[in-house]
Every structure is written in C-alpha cells, then in structure tokens.
A and B are shown apart, each in its own frame.
Chain A
Amino acid sequence: MLRRIKSWDSLGLRLFLLMWAALALSHMVAWSLVVQTMRGPSDSPGPPMHAQGDRPPPPPGGFNGGPRHDDLDLAGPPPRGEPSARIPTFPSLPPSLPWGSSLVDYGVRMLVIALAAWWGSRWLSQPVRRLVSAARQLTPALAQGRPAPELSEDEGTREVREAAAVFNHMAAELSGQFEERGLMIAAISHDLRTPLTRMRLRLEMGEVEAKVRERCIDDLREMNRLVESVIEVFRPGDEADPQRVDLSALAQSAVDDLAETGATVTFEGPPAVVSADPVALRRVVDNLVGNALRYAGSAKVSVELSAGVARLVVEDNGPGIPEAELERVRQPFRRVEGSRNRATGGTGLGLYIAQQLVRRQGALLVLANRPEGGLRAEVVF
C-alpha cells in the first residue's frame, strides 16, 4: 500500500498539488478576508455613511444575497466574471468589489501565493540540495579513505529516490575501486620487494663481472625508487593531523641532511610558523630540492614571510622548464621533453607527489622560470 502511494510521489505531482493548494488557499483566504471587512460597517450602525458616489457595501452574506453589479459598474473596478453571475461561484468568481477591498484581495492572494511558492520551492529542492551536498563530500571522502556519504533511498519523490539509489551505487562502486586499487598497489609493491631483495643478494653472492653487477644494482635501485614513488602516490590516506610547525626549521633540517651527504644546497630565512603535517612537508621539501639537484646540481632554499603569507622557495640555476610545459610537469610520469634518460634519472613522479602533498596541506605549489635562468618552485601557505 505504502509502496503504491510512494510510486505516485513524483516531482510533477508534488508541484501540481502544491500549486492547486496554493491557489485554492489564496482564493479562500482573500475572499473571506474581504467579506469580513465589508460585512463590518453594515452590521454596526455607528460609522458614518459613505459619501455620495461611494459604493454601498454588499449585503451581508456576500454574493448569496445577490450583489447589484449594475450599480457598481461605474464607480468600482471592472467586475470579475460574468456580470450576471447569480449562481454561487466560490471561490473563483467572487462578487465585484470596491477599490480598496480589491487591493486587499489581490494583495493577500499575492502574499499567500508568494509564501506558498517560497516554502514549496524549498520543499521541492530539498532532495536536490541533499544530493549536491553528498556529491560534494564524495571527493574528499575518497581522497582521505573515509566511507562515502550515503543518501536515504526511501525518502522523497520517485525521482529523488531513484537519484539517491544511483548515487549510492556510484559512490559504493567508486570507493570500492579506490580501496581495491590501494590493496592491489600494496600487494604488487610487496611482491616486487621480495624478488628485488632476492636479486640484490644474488648479485652479491653470484659470480658476476663487477661492471655488470654495478649496472644491475643501479637498475635495481631505480626499480625500487619507482615502487616507492608509486606507493607514495596511491597509498590510501593515512595523513597525520596538521600541527603548527616552524617552516624554517624544517627546511633547514632538510638542507642540513642533504649537505651531510655532500649536496650543494643552502638555506636562509626567518622563523615562520605554518600549519602542516611535518612528515608530508618534509617529503615536499626533499622532492623539490632533489629535483633542483638533479637538473642543476645545486639548490638554494629560502623562506619568505610577507603580509602574513609564508612561502618556501626552492631555486636552481638549471635549464628550467619551457613555459608551455610548466603545468604538464605536475602530472604523473610527465617529464620535460628530452630529459627522460638515465643521466637525470628520477621517476617522473617527484613534482606530482609534491603537488599532491602540498594540496593536502591546504597550500599551493607555484612553478615559474626565473628571469636569470633556472626554476623557482614556491610552496605558498
């Protein structure tokens, strides 16, 4: 029974019922109001008579008594409906009314219809708004590995219930695929590590020519770097909560660690507190500086603080990136044309990972070529 009623509950039906109810209600309210006010003076003898030419009030009982339309034709507004309408025509054909009462009549109708339209539009659009807010939550939920938002499938009109069911199905499918992808990547990476470890040990134990061994070890390292980068990108969200960290201390530590391994990299900057996940931020600094060292051989890291905005800047004297490719290099596995070789190395994921992590911190990664040559990468908080 309930199901049968529900199957009739459509947006069209709701709209029809709403408009019908609003019309009927507005007529009824306006009519009864006007009748009330007009009945008033005729019932009480107190108030003075209307001036000459003024309309006499209709007899009590409204149109039941039969208004004298002919008398009013000159002074009042044009009568609505047939002038000779003697049959009760409530609610659509009330008797002709004097000016002031007409204004009240129309005003009240408009007001009631406006209120009904306002309330009705909210009523009708509510499910759509629910859908919009659920759809908005879907992307961050998937990105952070939270369960996808779910819409109620037995509330609202038929169309809304259908949309909710389709949305829920889509969200479940999507989050299932995300989860599967994470599990698959984890499985592949684990299963790759065992053969990689085996090969590394075999190279150490077997009778391999030194030169061949060196090259094999290099290849193993490269494969391992790729595995680690892929895990970094596809790892299901396990970010720590952001906390307040000193950006300069963090950049300084990263630079000190690189300098300890013999890299040419410098740092300067004032203390600047930002809100971020320190582990992810450190990864960003390492990626940007690593990129600079790879293409330019040296890097200059600094922190700038202006107008309450903290920036972490990594500059190099390398070849930079052609303007046309500045956006493209942020995509995974994209590299500047011609640099895809062993000499520069890298997996083609460094800038992509940096971009993803920077976004998760609510910051912005800006890449630009320096006028004096080289690349300038900025993390703007």
Chain B
Amino acid sequence: MRCLVVDDDAEIRTNLTAYLEGFGWQVSAAADGGAMRRVLAATKVDAIVLDLMLPGEDGLTLLRWLSTQPDAPPVLMLTARGDTMSRVIGLELGADDYLAKPFEPRELVARLQALVRRASKGLAVAEDTRMLRFGRWRFDRLTRQLVNAEDVGIALSSAEFRLLGAFVQRPGRVLSRDQLIELTRAPGVEVNDRSIDLAVSRLRAKLGDTAREPALIRTVRGEGYLFDAEVSPC
C-alpha cells in the first residue's frame, strides 16, 4: 500500500514515514501543496495523511482541490483538535477521517487501514451530507442526534451512531451481522454479534420501534437486519 504524508514539520515527516514503513507501507512525504501535487502526478497513492495547518495553501484548500480530482485517494486530516470544528471539516469538506494532534501512532495506522479497506471495497468513504431525512426523522450527523417531528434532538451513542450511519447508506438492503460488524468497526472498541444486537435494540427504542412491530429496522430471520425507509438528504 502507498501512502502520502503532507506535513510542514520535517521531523514529523521523517518519523511518521519511518513509522508507517515499519507496517509495510510505501510512504512518500511532502512539505506543502506544491510537493503534494508533484507526488500525486508521479505516483498513485492509496491514502493521504494531510496536516490542516500548512504554510501557503492550507489543508482545507488542498482538500477542496483534491475533491475536484477524478478518483482522488481517501484523506485523513490531522487537525488541531478533535472537536466539533474538525467534524464539520470532515463532514462538509470531504475529509474521510480526522485525527487530532498529538495522535497515537497506532491509531493513525488503524484509521488508515480502515480508510483503504473501505475505499478498496468501493464503499462510500466520505459522509458528505450533514442532514438526512427518513420517515418522520431527521438524522444530524454533525451533532450525532436524531431530530423528531417536534424538533427535539435525541442524542445517539457512538455505537448507535455508527449503526445508523451504516443503515442509512444502504436502505432497503439486508445486512448480515458480519457486514454490520465490518461497517461499524471503530478503533479501540470491540464490535461483535452481541454488541450489534444491543445497539439495534437501543436504536429501535430511540426510534420508537419495537422488536415485535418494527417500522424502520426489520429483523430478517437467519439473515440479519434491514433498514426499511427512504433516505434523502435535507
């Protein structure tokens, strides 16, 4: 796998390159936007690690430029902090994932691997709309909550958020537990059959579904779950 590291700090660049090479990656490094474009023109990379704060063209400008390129590789953004602002960047500008500096090197590797795996399966990597609508619900991916018809926000846990995120991308399709495990994998958390079932029942409770009469998340016996709703951006 090939990866491109874009950071203006020379030591971070060299050490990160060496660290990723230790995991069997081929790594190129670039100090700014110009160098990044040259590398991309010369070689095809599977993922980009992009620092938000760069001299000259900053990370956001480069991200916008990348989104105009045909089959641009997935981007993991290194931001100043992992808060709401970073999530806005991730969701609205097309970064596929983000990590706050200083990051755990292990976690960077895990996230990069997840990005490349998702991209190689042709799955949508970026979640580019903030608000989705299904049934009488709105799903706000920025604040991670469901909004009901009375405009009351109902917060989702990370597990519920990941699960609903997987469902809304594949409405009307049966998803097996194994597929859901794969789709809702997150670093540092163990996802298994039981945790999927638990998240499904909690999500149903928040959506007002019951196991006996589910309106949105149907159980398909012996196969898995099906999200039975039309999803549209709003």
Contacts and interface: CB of A to CB of B under 8 A. Distances in A.
Interface of A: 189-190, 193-194, 196-202, 204-205, 220, 224, 228, 231, 240, 243-246, 249-250, 252-254, 256-257, 260-261, 273, 278-279, 282
A205 B18 contact: yes
A205 B19 contact: yes
Nearest to A251: B155
Interface stretch (B69-77, B123-131, B157-165): B157-165
B12 A198 contact: yes
A231 B86 CA distance: 14
Nearest to B87: A279
Given A193-B101, A260-B157, A244 B151 contact: yes
Given A201-B105, A249-B206, A228 B81 contact: yes
Nearest to A258: B157
Nearest to B140: A278
Interface in B170-206: 188-189, 195, 202, 206
A279 B159 contact: no
B157 A257 contact: yes
Q: Which of B16, B104, B155 has the largest number of chain A CB atoms within 10 A?
A: B155
Nearest to A197: B102
A261 B53 CA distance: 31
Nearest to A204: B105
A279 B206 CA distance: 19
B202 A205 contact: no
A282 B155 contact: yes
A279 B80 CA distance: 18
A248 to B, nearest CB: 9
Nearest to A231: B81
Given A256-B159, A261-B188, A243 B153 contact: yes
A249 B155 contact: yes
Nearest to A279: B84
B211 interface: no
B230 interface: no
B210 interface: no
Given A198-B11, A201-B19, A256-B157, 4 more contacts: A190-B53, A197-B103, A224-B102, A257-B159
Nearest to B188: A261
Given A253-B160, A256-B159, A260-B189, A201 B15 contact: yes
B157 A197 contact: no
A260 B159 contact: yes
24 contacts: A189-B81, A190-B80, A193-B101, A193-B102, A194-B101, A196-B101, A197-B12, A197-B101, A198-B9, A198-B15, A201-B11, A204-B19, A205-B15, A205-B19, A231-B81, A244-B150, A249-B156, A253-B155, A253-B158, A256-B160, A257-B159, A260-B157, A261-B188, A273-B152
B12 to A, nearest CB: 6
A360 to B, nearest CB: 15
Contact of B158 (A193, A201, A260, A273): A260
B219 interface: no
Given A193-B102, A260-B189, A253 B153 contact: no
B145 interface: yes
Given A198-B15, A204-B15, A278 B153 contact: yes
Interface string B88-113: 00000000000001111100000000
The 9 A-B pairs with the shortest beta carbon distances in the complex, nearest first, are: A256-B157, A201-B15, A250-B155, A196-B102, A253-B157, A197-B102, A245-B153, A249-B154, A253-B155
B67 interface: no
A202 B15 contact: yes
A201 B159 contact: no
A205 B16 CA distance: 9
A193 B159 CA distance: 29
Contacts of A260: 157-159, 189, 195
B80 A189 contact: yes
Contacts of B26: none
